[in-house]
Amino acid sequence: MTKYVIKGGKPLYGKIDISGAKNAAVAIIPATILVGGVCRIENIPQISDVTMLLNILKQLGADIRTVNKNTMDIDCSAIRSSEATFDMMRKIRASYYLIGALLGRFGSATVAMPGGCNFGGVRPIDQHIKGFTAMGAEVEVKNGHVCTTAPGGKLRGASIYLDVVSVGATINLMLAAALADGITVIENAAREPHIVDLANFLNSMGADVRGAGTGVIKIYGVDRLSGGFYSIIPDQIEAGTYMAAVADAGGEVLINNVIPRHLKCITVKLEEMGVYVEDRGDAVLVRRDSPIRRANVKTLPYPGFPTDMQPQISAVLCIADGTSVITEGVWDNRYKYVDELAKMGARIQVDGRVAVIEGVESLTGAPVKACDLRAGAAMAVAALGAHGVTEISEVGYIERGYESFVEKLRGIGADISCVTEPDAEDEEKSVG
Ligand code: EPU
């Protein structure tokens, strides 16, 4: 079992480099299935969700070569099967992008139902299915698989209005539409930076996607996409997490390789909390040298405050000088981590989608667990500003989405180490 051990209460100083965006990478990697030729992709984050997706593509027959740590050549020309039913598909959410990509390329796809962080129940894909159906596909969910077929072997453009703003449905329908016959219009589309990044990737390979970043995306289907070069945008949430870490622990850190515009929603909230944030073009300087002020936060689809930063900002507000109200506007249940923060002395009451945080002077280190990816990051944020030692277990969740988490934090002076202990089963096995 691997744990992070953090000795808190030490301000953070120095520089940190942000990696490529996880949620862009997990869309762009499946998108290479649509491309006839080699895609050289730069700024791919080294995280376990990406490793799993690359392994899925290899199993399907893709040729993947590592150029350097964060650059890969991906050639999916040799893929012949549109069936992705491997067990590992169930471990990550983004495996559902294989439906749009395989269906778009082959006119049919059988894909294992996706996994991913559980925010209180099954994460629905009805909007994805509604879109595929509008494009002429027959869709059936059976035995844990999504089976889709486009009669005649090709999807046709359609007009699709999403009932909820869904990142996943927007991306999946963009993938399905890139090679479809005719024009697809997605209304009430998600506007996250990774949607724009996927559109830019597809366009640089020869697609015709217009309007990404607005609520209406038009995809003019083309006959083929060909290989090329693309560099993934920096990770907005990784940057936001380190901004929250500085806000919690205090200090001054230059966060490099970011697009400050993508961070605006986070920056504005941190400033309201008394944190100094300076836009340095492709970096932000973050400083906290006074007490954290209370604030209310409501998460919303982009450009609202991101749900993927909700646990981390809540961790900081635990030590604010008053009572803060958090309203989760995207997921039904994203407060599982609250019980863990309570072990460190946090005072939080949850009622449905609302959490009320009564600030305390400081948190105290305790053994806690990462309940999911961002919840795990929130534990680390809380631990960095807390008195004493925090041990975070189940850090595999954190490694799904943060490249070199421990090394990066050590680089700005955090007292954090990664400890691997034999788990109970191994101990039993090793006895005698
Ligand atoms: N929804 C539906 N029907 C659908 C799809 C979504 O009702 O068909 C609902 C969901 O239940 C949710 C809301 O719509 O209430 C938004 O879901 P969305 O589809 O946008 O989420 P997702 O695509 O499954 C992605 C990110 C999540 C992030 C959300 C929201 C990836 C791989 N995952 O999930 O990221 O929280 O968008 O921004 O891109 C993370 O990185 O920690 C993470 C969980």
Indicate whether 429 pLDDT > 50. Answer: no
Residues 215 and 242 in one domain: no
Collapsed DSSP state (helix, strand, coil) of residue 376: helix
Domain assignment present for 109: yes
Q: Whose CA is nearest to atom 22 of ligand 1?
A: 168
Same domain, 258 and 270: yes
Going by their DSSP bridges, the two strands 145-149 and 138-142 should be labelled as antiparallel
DSSP state of 123: -
- Claim to verify: residue 111 and residue 12 sit in the same structural domain: no
pLDDT of 428 reads: 38
Is the beta carbon of 398 within 6 A of some atom in ligand 1? no
Residues 272 and 375 in one domain: yes
User: What is the number of domains present in the chain?
Assistant: 2
Among 231, 251, 281, residue at a domain's last position:
231
Q: How confident is the model at residue 187 (pLDDT cuts 50, 70, 90)?
A: very high
pLDDT at site 34: 98
How many A from CA of 367 to the centre of ligand 1?
A: 30
pLDDT for 88 beyond 90: no
Ligand 1 centroid to 363 CA: how many Å? 31
Is residue 379 assigned to a domain? yes
What does the alpha-carbon distance between residue 90 and residue 98 come to, in Å, rounded to a whole number?
A: 12
Instruction: Indicate whether 67 pLDDT > 80.
Output: yes
Q: Whose CA is nearest to atom 25 of ligand 1?
A: 167
Cα separation values, 368 from 222, 320, 339, 344, Å: 51, 21, 9, 8
Q: Which residue segment(s) compose the domain that 279 sits in?
A: 2-19+234-425
145: CATH:
3.65.10.10
Verify whether residue 147 is a known catalytic residue. Answer: no
**pLDDT tens sequence across 353-374:** 999 999 999 999 999 999 999 9
On whether residue 180 sits in a domain, the answer given is: yes
Nearest to 300 by CA among 337, 255, 269: 269
pLDDT reading at 119 higher than 80 = no
Please check whether residues 256 and 365 belong to one and the same domain: yes
Q: Pick the more confident residue, 315 or 84.
A: 315
How far is residue 384 from each of residues 209, 356, 387, 409, measured CA to CA in Å?
43, 22, 8, 10
Residue nearest to atom 27 of ligand 1 (CA): 308
Which of 231, 253, 286 is where one domain is finished?
A: 231
The arithmetic mean of pLDDT across residues 107-125, rounded, is: 77
CB 117 within 8 A of CB 333: no
Q: What does pLDDT average to over the chain?
A: 94
Per the model's pLDDT, the better-predicted residue between 422 and 214 turns out to be 214
Are residues 380 and 365 located together in one domain of the fold?
A: yes
| Domain stops at, among 197, 216, 231 | 231
Based on the fold, state whether residues 80 and 223 are members of the same structural domain.
yes
From the number of C-beta atoms within 10 Å of its C-beta (0-12, 13-18, 19+), residue 159 rates as exposed
Residue 432 above 60 pLDDT? no
Which candidate in 39, 117, 318, 371 is catalytic?
117
Average pLDDT rounded to a whole number, residues 154-168: 98
**Per-residue model confidence (pLDDT) at position 92:** 82
Do 51 and 108 have their domain in common? yes
